[in-house]
Amino acid sequence: MAFKGVQRSGNINLNSKLNFKTTNNQMSTRYGSVLKLPEENYKKYKELHSAVWPAVLEQIRKSNIRNYSIYHKDGFLFSYFEYIGSDFEGDMARMAEDPNTREWWKVCEPLQRPLETRKPGEWWAGMEEVFHFGI
């Protein structure tokens, strides 16, 4: 999953988040991030993500992440998720401490290539949202 990149050392580009209320009136924050995936790693990466370990998915849920998606295009991965908690840094730190999640990252990380322009501490580079239309 994307979270190691987003939260590798507790850092994310906080300028890339926007707060909004979900349909059940719950506050949420959208995050987008990007990194490279060499074409020769695409098949393995897609195979891994067709069967994400249940313990990793549970940790994502416990970390207040919802509507999490990863997209691929021309050697880039784009990650999108919504955060519904009140302590992003704390939730990401707890995720980073989870043994199953750490093991998952060990499997996925060698397939990925972070952007050279990422901020210190990022694996997945935070992105600025420039447009959103939601009803």
Q: Tell me, what's the pLDDT at 27?
A: 80
Give me the pLDDT at residue 25, please.
55
Taking the domain 3-126, which CATH number applies? Answer: 3.30.70.100
Q: What is the pLDDT of residues 116-134, one digit of tens each?
A: 999 999 999 999 999 988 8
Q: pTM (2 decimals)?
A: 0.79
Q: What whole-number distance in Å separates Cα of residue 52 and Cα of residue 55?
A: 9
Mean pLDDT of the chain: 86
Spell out, as residue ranges, where the chain has pLDDT lower than 50. Answer: 1-18, 20, 22-23
Non-local CB neighbours of 86 within 8 Å, separated by 6+ positions? none
List the domain boundaries for the chain. Answer: 3-126
